[in-house]
Structure 1
């Protein structure tokens, strides 16, 4: 494991355009591990989740000032106003950016030209968190509604309640055979298939799983309270574990064979899995 120091509380992480990018949630900046730093001129903007966009740029949510930001691979910085405290973000099946709007119980759609459309979830106080794409639809965790949401690109919503009460789902990531999600308050990871069938798997007690990144045969999970990263197989068995040390606060996670983890204490970890 290699750790690269990055000042400013790394939160989200993505590999895009041949570089590793991270959002610096407490300083209103975005940086690359190679040393480029982009000041958003908004210290309270809280840049959070970051993804590789469809237009040679990274896109990221700014829930502190209700915007979705964009930085081109060439360094051009811009933003789109999106009301409702945007947090989770993904590229949808239609090539647009889709984000969760935590404070308005809605999902937002942003085109690369900056056109914004908002679709209500239909559940009050649901607190939508992370979002991903699977089977042609958008899937997202409903943290306070204890459910997984599914939305078509036309805005039609289906909700799947979780078997475990008060589980606090947060992270979500699409794999080849379903969508993996974390249950922060229940110390579990779950998987839901296209028919809505849910399986849950127990993780170490008190670990508070946060982000998840699906793999061809399981997923990686950051354990926020345990300051660790684990890999689980398709049956939910832990097959690998990496420790970051007390107070590391692992949040953002990206896997493309290698694994990258944003550690809020001030670094980005790079793991090349054993075997």
Structure 2
């Protein structure tokens, strides 16, 4: 097992491995950078680039909730953006090959084609504050932070909501696994799992750890513990099987997992965890 850190000039927030690079958003200075050293200035310091994903078109896409845009950087280095009103935050590639994002300030979900066409769908709940979003079982699944629920939307905009068993849980991160969807409850210090039938389970995490992002794996998921400066792996039954402490003040946020794990640390680095050496 090993943990290596790569210094990044800024405060990394989102992270994704794509196109042979590891990309991170620098939320406070309006830039996107790669671990290999490339830096893309968005010429918009208040853009707040946040969640970043590997797109379907040889590019990374990322939300810019500070200036109501969704950005794109091609593997060739070309930078562009699409206007999407509503403070876009969460982002994923949907089952239809389009980009789907949560719109925090107007309780909607946005759909963006690679050609830049935008459609928005209301979630039907006022003040829900939709957080992160993922694709599973042909639908879009997202956390409703202030409504204390998980939302599910078809590609035609039909919405189902699943209230959480724990009151005031504050769901944030979400990630699709093979049999269902994992999510975090930042205010309840719990992780959760919901299957395609809507059956929910919750799992306790360390007290006062404030779990933030989650990345599903074939055998469970990884979770960032923002307040505990750590990352943990849960098995399919919600048991913690591995823990990596990242040092006081690390503030782990974004997470990307495959054979290894990349974690954006707001203190100014991206950590690379290789659980099996």
How big is each residue's C-alpha offset from its partner over 1:118-151, in whole Å with a ceiling of 9 and x where there is no partner? 0000000000000000000000000000000000
* Number of the residue aligned with 1:199: 201
> How many angstroms does 1:274 deviate by?
2.8
**For each residue in 1:38-82, what CA deviation from the matched residue of structure 2 results, as whole angstroms up to 9, or x when unmatched?**
000000100000000000000000000000000000100000000
Q: TM-score of the superposition, structure 1-length normalised? A: 0.99
Match of 1:255 among 246, 252, 257: 257
CA distance, structure 1, for counterparts of residue 275 and residue 177 of structure 2:
18
Distance (Å, rounded) in 2 between the aligned partners of 1:67 and 1:217: 35
CA distance in 2, matches of 1:149, 1:168: 13
1:139 to 124, 138, 141: 141
- 1:217 deviates by 1.1
Q: How far apart are the structure 2 equivalents of 1:71 and 1:242?
A: 31
TM-score (norm 2): 0.99
List runs of 5+ in structure 1 lacking aligned partners.
none
Aligned residue runs from structure 1 range 33-72, under 5 A: 33-72=35-74
CA distance in 1, matches of 2:209, 2:155: 35
**What is the root-mean-square deviation of aligned Cα atoms in Å?**
0.6
The offset of 1:257, in angstroms, is: 1.2
List, as ranges, runs of 4+ consecutive aligned residues in structure 1 with deviation greater than 6 Å: none
Structure 1 residue 220: Cα displacement: 0.2
2:276 paired residue number: 274
Map 1:112-151 → 2, pairs under 5 A:
112-151=114-153
Instruction: After superposition, give the CA deviation of every residue in 1:96-136 in whole Å (9 maximum; x if it has no partner).
Output: 00000000000000000000000000000000000000000
Cα deviation, residue 241, structure 1: 0.3
Counterpart of 1:265 in structure 2 is 267
